Amino acid sequence: LTQRLQAAMGKLRKKGKVTEADVTEMMREIRLALLEADVNLQVVKQFTKEVRTRALGTEVLESLSPAQQIVKIVDEELTKTLGSEAVGLEKSPKIPTVIMMAGLQGAGKTTFAGKLANQLIKNEKARPLMIAGDVYRPAAIDQLKVLGQQLNVPVFDMGTDVSPVEIVRQGMEQARENKNDYVLIDTAGRLHIDETLMDELKQIKEIAQPNEILLVVDAMTGQDAVNVAQSFNEQLGITGVVITKLDGDTRGGAALSIRAVTGAPIKFIGSGEKLTDLEIFHPDRMSSRILGMGDMLTLIEKAQQDYDEKKAEELARKMKENSFDFNDFIEQLDQVMGMGPIEDILKMIPGMSQMPGIENVKVDPKDVERKKAMVYSMTLAERENPDLLNPSRRRRIAAGSGNSVVEVNRMIKQFKESRKMMQQMSKGSMPAGMDQMFG
Ligand code: GDP
Ligand code: MG
């Protein structure tokens, strides 16, 4: 989606004045781009109609920079189609707030339950209870229990012999007794929507009276996700949508259609398998992500989540004073690896997605390990004071870490370059070759 839209807009940007024919051509490109990205046909029609009407309006044709105006309109309309504003969780006036998951098998319900519990604990020191309502696969209960252990969140389960409806009934009772502030109900999914599944979900809904029924859909299923969303909404009534697996290639197609077709707000997106890979859905950010303008805010939030604040402050100070040393370097490498694939992170930086060759940027975890090995072969004094690293010390480090001196030299050079770059950054200017920082 992104590439095609960018190409179309690039063409327009070069023009000073836009004619009706230009707008028509642009609309054709947009239409194709959206259809290619699995956006529902009705949604595409509606969307292009609105953009076209606005683009042909006097505000554009008579403005000084019509191309920019059109980009702005596309951005605004995309944002509108995606729901305009971020919508938070609906909360119950008295505890517990009950959140029920729904969706097909493998969509990411159980994972999302864990991620949400994690976020609630972090953000509001919540005390959630998770209910294991998927009794058809023993592994599903274990999966939830493992998450519960990791998060230190109780999981209510009664094995696989009791009906999910009964489990939910008793689980709700326990939550009330224990005064849990949230109840997260994990449910079963099928490979396809069927009566039995829907009936069961309806009964659970009846018993639990959830504040939220969140439909979890897999972004990779494209157009199919839209059909699924539509029938869940018709039969069960959903209050919100979670789109998972929006990591890797950013196909916003499903997101665009689901919101438009169901009217239910997209509340969260899953961007990876880890518990921290959960983002609040921001329509405007998604729109600029689709348009390739980069999504700096999400990037920053993501970094912050993984970052201990104090460490960040100290790092900022060190960057400014240029006293960043190899211990920090290691920490930073770990930090960066922990944030997920570098390729994805780079793509979120404005302008980066247009850089030639960005698709080929890959960070090799083995390379990171090699660098770490070299640092571990340094003495403490050397780590704190890189200027000590004379040729004989470098030879020792090479031998100690199983690398060649050339590699050690390269690593030290890279370290010094990134240190310089960070100093520049901390003074507020964006360095030229940020990608070099990662080798
Ligand atoms: P469920 O059957 O709906 O409960 O789905 P699960 O929670 O068991 O998830 C199915 C698979 O999708 C698991 O391998 C998860 O690790 C994976 N998964 C879930 N959410 C995401 C996501 O946001 N990104 C990626 N890459 N994988 C995910
Ligand atoms: Mg599950």
Residue 439 has pLDDT above 50, yes or no: no
389 shares its domain with 264: no
344 Cβ inside 6 Å of ligand 1:
no
In this structure, the answer to whether residues 166 and 38 fall within a common structural domain is: no
Q: Quick one: which atom of ligand 1 is closest to the CA of 107?
A: 3
Name the CA dihedral angle for 44, 81, 299, 247, rounded to a multiple of 10 degrees: -50
Condensed to tens digits (0 to 9), the pLDDT of residues 161-219 reads 999 999 999 999 999 999 999 999 999 988 888 888 999 999 999 999 999 999 999 88
**Could you tell me if residue 300 is inside a domain?**
no
The single-letter DSSP state of residue 160 is B
Residue 431 has pLDDT above 50, yes or no: no
Token representation of residue 178: 């224990």
Judged by its nearest atom, the ligand closest to the C-alpha of residue 102 is 1
- Distance CA(348)–CA(92), nearest Å, equals 35
* Boundary (domain end) residue, out of 250, 267, 293: 293
Domain count, the chain: 3
Residues 76 and 201 in one domain: no
pLDDT in tens, 226-261: 888 999 999 999 999 999 988 765 556 777 788 888
Assess whether the C-beta atom of 340 lies below 6 angstroms from ligand 1. no
Whether 136 and 261 share a structural domain: yes
Q: With 70 as the cut, is the pLDDT of residue 105 above it?
A: yes
Confidence (pLDDT) at 430: 46
pLDDT value at 114 more than 90? yes
**Rounded mean pLDDT, 272-301:** 76
Residue 108 falls in which region: left (phi positive, over 0), alpha (psi -120 to 50) or beta: left
Q: Are residues 319 and 350 located together in one domain of the fold?
A: yes
Q: How far is the CA of 275 from the centre of ligand 2 (A)?
A: 15
DSSP 294: -
Q: Which residue's entry shows tokens 């683009």?
A: 55
Average pLDDT (51-58) is 81
Q: Where does the pLDDT of residue 368 fall: very low under 50, low under 70, confident under 90, or very high at 90 and above?
A: confident
Element (H, E) at 27: helix 20-36
- Verify that 335 and 417 share a domain, yes or no: yes
Q: Tell me: pLDDT of 2 over 70.
A: no
Mean pLDDT across 414-427: 73
Q: Which domain holds residue 16?
A: 2-81
Ligand 1 atom closest to the Cα of residue 272 is 24
Answer yes or no: is 37 within a domain. Answer: yes
* Contact in structure between 192 and 107 (CB atoms under 8 Å): no
Distance from residue 206's CA to the centre of ligand 2 (Å): 21
pLDDT tens digits along 331-362: 777 766 666 666 666 666 655 555 556 556 66
In the β-sheet with 240-244, what is the strand arrangement from edge to edge? 155-156, 128-133, 182-187, 97-102, 212-218, 240-244, 266-270, 278-280
- Specify the range with the lowest mean pLDDT, choosing from 70-84, 98-112, 340-354: 340-354
Residue 131's Cα: distance from chain center in Å?
25
> Which ligand number lies closest to the CA of residue 141?
2
pLDDT on residue 353: 56
Q: Is the pLDDT of residue 109 over 80?
A: yes
- Does 106 belong to an annotated binding site? yes
Rounded Cα distance between 144 and 304, Å, is 27
110 is in an annotated binding site: yes
Same domain assignment for residues 224 and 260: yes
Please indicate, yes or no, if residue 87 is contained in any of the structural domains. no
**Distances in Å between the alpha carbon of 87 and those of 90, 91, 416?**
9, 12, 44
- Structure tokens of 245? 């697996």
Distant-in-sequence, close-in-space partners of 3: CB < 8 Å, separation ≥ 6: 292
Based on the domain organization, do 141 and 175 belong to the same domain?
Answer: yes
> Tokens 């992500």 map to which residue?
289
- Per-residue confidence (pLDDT) for residue 391, from 0 to 100: 94
Domain check: are 218 and 172 in the same one? yes
- Place 27 in a pLDDT band, splitting at 50, 70 and 90: confident
In this structure, the answer to whether residues 289 and 333 fall within a common structural domain is no
Atom 19 (ligand 1) nearest CA: 108
CATH of the domain at 168: 3.40.50.300
Chain centre distance of CA 159:
33
Whose C-alpha lies nearest to ligand 1, atom 28?
A: 273
Asked whether the beta carbons of 71 and 14 are under 8 A apart, the reply is no
144 plus 256 within the same structural domain: yes
Exposure string of 389-428, with b = 16+ CB inside 10 Å and e = fewer, is beeebbebbbeebebeeebbeebbebbeebbebbbebbee
The atom of ligand 1 lying closest to the CA of 134 is 4
373 burial level (CB within 10 Å; 0-12, 13-18, 19+)? middle
Residue 107 confidence (pLDDT) above 70: yes
**Does 302 reside within a domain?**
no
| Domain shared by 355 and 412, yes or no | yes
Q: What is the CATH number of the domain that holds 345?
A: 1.10.260.30
CB 148 within 8 A of CB 130: yes
User: Mean of the per-residue pLDDT values for the chain?
Assistant: 81
Q: How far is the CA of 106 from the centre of ligand 1 (A)?
A: 6
Indicate which ligand has the atom closest to the C-alpha of 140: 2
